[in-house]
A = this chain, B = another copy of it.
Amino acid sequence: MYEIVRQAVEERDFKRVKDIFSHLEEADIADLIQGFHDNQEVDAKDISLLFRLLPKDTAAEVFTHMDSDMKELLINSFTDTELEDVVDNLFIDDTVDLIEEMPANVVQRILHASDSQSRRLINMILKYPEDSAGSIMTTEYVYVFKEMTVKDTLEKIRSLGMVKETVYTIYVTSQHRRLLGVLSILDLLTADDDEIVGDIMDTDVITALTTEDQENVAAMFAKYDYVALPVVDNENRIVGIVTFDDAMDVVEEEATEDIAHMAAVSPSEESYFKTSVFTHAKNRIVWLLVLMLSSTVSSVIIGHYEAAFAAVPLLVASIPTLTGTGGNCGSQASTIVIRAMSLGEIQLKDFFKVMFKEFRISLLVSVILGTVNFFRIYIQYYNDPTVDQMRLAICVSLAIVAAVIMSKLIGCILPMAAKAVHLDPALMAAPLISTIVDASTTLVFFNIALVVFNISM
């Protein structure tokens, strides 16, 4: 498809391009044009030309699927009237997203192109805290008053001429916009024309407050399987709705953020390639510095036990095995606990239940690892007359058992403790856990070694 369209553009057969576009989904058209631009196969002037081939309502939706560079390029090529056409056909929440990505001079043009009612709504949404229900809601929804008939309601839906998911649920309000009930479009279809909506509406409505965290809103979608969720203010007046597609974006966005945190990276707003080398480095360097400097603790501990490894140099060779195993056990526990907390499977009140569970898991795991490690060392140094295999094997295996149990406990305690003091649990993931586990494992290891090898310091 890409090649066919590219060739048509090259031959300047725009009639053909227009025809192909008419059979494509908006997201796919956006992908095509975006591709031409990213691969520098079509110049900026022809990109705007391609965009002008689209009917007005299609154009607006194609526009929302583009990346921010492309949007800026297009807006700069638009006349004021063209910009008005696009902005007119955008959903309010998409306009708000656009305003948040654009530089100030472009924002001014966009606001100028919006009618006064849209401007009022845009300003309202911009005021809600980032990542709140208010900030992701759209203000296009169908509301009717409870005295209206089914027939009136159907008329209203028809006359609004709205498209897409925002019309599947109809909200019934008082004259002051207080939310009284909901109706699905199916309820309307199966009711008689002269029934009163107030009589057939469902009055048990699940709502989200404007200030509700978007993560909780997405969780409500996952729980109730709704197509849309009404957003209300403190007086239960409906101010917008969140639709399932926005909730799906939130689920994906939050997972990406958690994953980044777990790898000690500050999350990036943009995609991998759109993020500059400098920003990537900035997102990674802070944690790396903190962790590198924290590892000084391990260095000091090792330095302190110089006498031990001067007596038995092979102790040093076991450090990577111990810190590695401890780190892996700790990150397993913390990752599982962090994910289970963000899915709501683990609550703070389960603190001791989780600790006890991780303790039992670590007992099982540590005994297996310790035993295998015992035989590994015994076999590895079997023919080496300079090594006391038995003592070395006992010493390292005991240290492994201790390391596994400690690190599993640290791995589950820290994320829950973080949550208790309202920090993001995902920050307590693998990298930080490993650093803490490194220090404690080394300390325990050398103390065991002092006893087993009977070394005095």
Inter-chain CA distance A198–B361, complex, in Å, is 61
A232 CB–B CB distance under 8 Å: no
Task: Compute how far the CA of A22 lies from the CA of B24 in the bound complex, rounded to whole angstroms.
Answer: 45
A273 to B345, Cβ gap below 8 A? yes
**Which residue on B lies nearest to A320, using beta carbons?**
B298
Per DSSP, chain A at the interface is helix
Kindly report which residue of chain B lies nearest to residue A222, judged by CB atoms.
B248
Number of identical protomers: 2
- Per the bound structure, the CA–CA distance linking A335 and B214 in Å amounts to 24
Q: How far is the CA of A334 from the CA of B284 in the complex (A)?
A: 13
How far does the Cβ of A124 sit from chain B's closest Cβ, in whole Å?
24
Complex CA gap A339/B265 in Å reads 12
Please measure, in the bound complex, the distance between the C-alpha atom of A190 and the C-alpha atom of B163, giving whole angstroms.
11
CB distance from A64 to the nearest CB of B (A): 10
**Do A248 and B247 have beta carbons less than 8 Å apart?**
yes
Docked-complex contact B365 and A288, CB < 8 angstroms: yes
Structural contact, B320 and A438, CB atoms closer than 8 A = yes
Given the complex, which residues of B lie within 8 Å of A299, measured CB to CB? 317-318, 320-321
How big is chain A's contact interface, by range? 35 or more
A252 at the interface (CB under 8 A from B): yes
Complex: chain B residue closest to A271, CB-CB: B345
Q: Which residue of B lies closest to A432 (CB)?
A: B328
When distances are taken between beta carbons in the complex, the residues of chain B under 8 Å from A328 are 264, 287-288, 291, 431, 434
Interface 1/0s, chain A 238-267, versus B by CB < 8 A?
Answer: 000000110111011001101110111100
Cross-chain contact B288 with A325 (CB below 8 angstroms): yes
Partner of A25, one of B224, B264, B271: B224
Q: Are B329 and A288 in contact (CB under 8 A)?
A: yes
Q: Known: A247-B248, A335-B259. Contact between A281 and B361, CB under 8 A? A: yes
* Complex contacts, A346 vs chain B, CB 8 Å: 272-273
- Separation in Å of the A280 CB from the closest CB of chain B? 5
Instruction: Tell me the minimal C-beta distance from A187 to chain B in angstroms.
Output: 9
Taking a contact as CB atoms under 8 Å apart, the answer to whether B289 and A368 are in contact is yes
> Are A277 and B360 in contact, with the CB atoms below 8 A?
yes
Say whether A418 faces chain B, with CB atoms less than 8 Å apart. no
Q: Is the pair B324, A285 in contact by a Cβ cutoff of 8 Å?
A: no
Given the interface contacts A336-B263, A361-B281, does A293 sit within 8 Å of B343 by beta carbon? no
Q: Is A373 an interface residue, CB under 8 A from the partner?
A: yes
Cβ contact within 8 Å between B249 and A222: yes
Contacts A252-B251, A292-B324, A368-B285: A316 and B317 contacting too (C-beta < 8 A)?
Answer: no
Given contacts A273-B353, A336-B260, contact A376 B295 (CB under 8 A): no
User: Which of the residues B260, B295, B303 comes within 8 Å of A339, measured between beta carbons?
Assistant: B260
Q: Give every chain B residue within 8 A of A277 (Cβ-Cβ).
A: 357, 360-361, 364
Which chain B residues lie closer than 8 Å to A281 at the CB level?
361, 364-365
CB–CB B256/A357 < 8 A: no
Contacts of A314 in B (CB 8 A): 303
- Asked whether, in the complex, the Cβ of B438 is within 8 Å of the Cβ of A324, the reply is yes
A348 beta carbon closer than 8 Å to chain B: no
Expressed in whole angstroms, the Cα–Cα distance for A247 and B245 within the complex equals 10
Q: Does A372 contact B (CB under 8 A)?
A: yes
The reply on A442 being an interface residue by CB < 8 A is: yes
Instruction: Report the minimal beta-carbon distance from A425 to chain B, rounded to whole angstroms.
Output: 13
The reply to whether B295 and A324 form a contact with Cβ atoms under 8 Å apart is yes
Whole-angstrom distance between the Cβ of A454 and the nearest chain B Cβ: 21
Bound CA–CA A280/B363 (angstroms): 12
> Min CB distance, A325 to chain B, in Å?
5
Q: Are A336 and B265 in contact (CB under 8 A)?
A: yes
**In the complex, given contacts A23-B204, A310-B313, what are 10 additional A-B residue pairs having Cβ atoms less than 8 angstroms apart?**
A27-B223, A158-B189, A168-B168, A221-B248, A222-B252, A285-B368, A288-B329, A291-B324, A302-B316, A309-B313
List, sorted by A's number, 8 A–B pairs whose CB atoms are closer than 8 Å. A25-B204, A165-B168, A222-B249, A272-B336, A277-B360, A285-B369, A298-B321, A328-B431
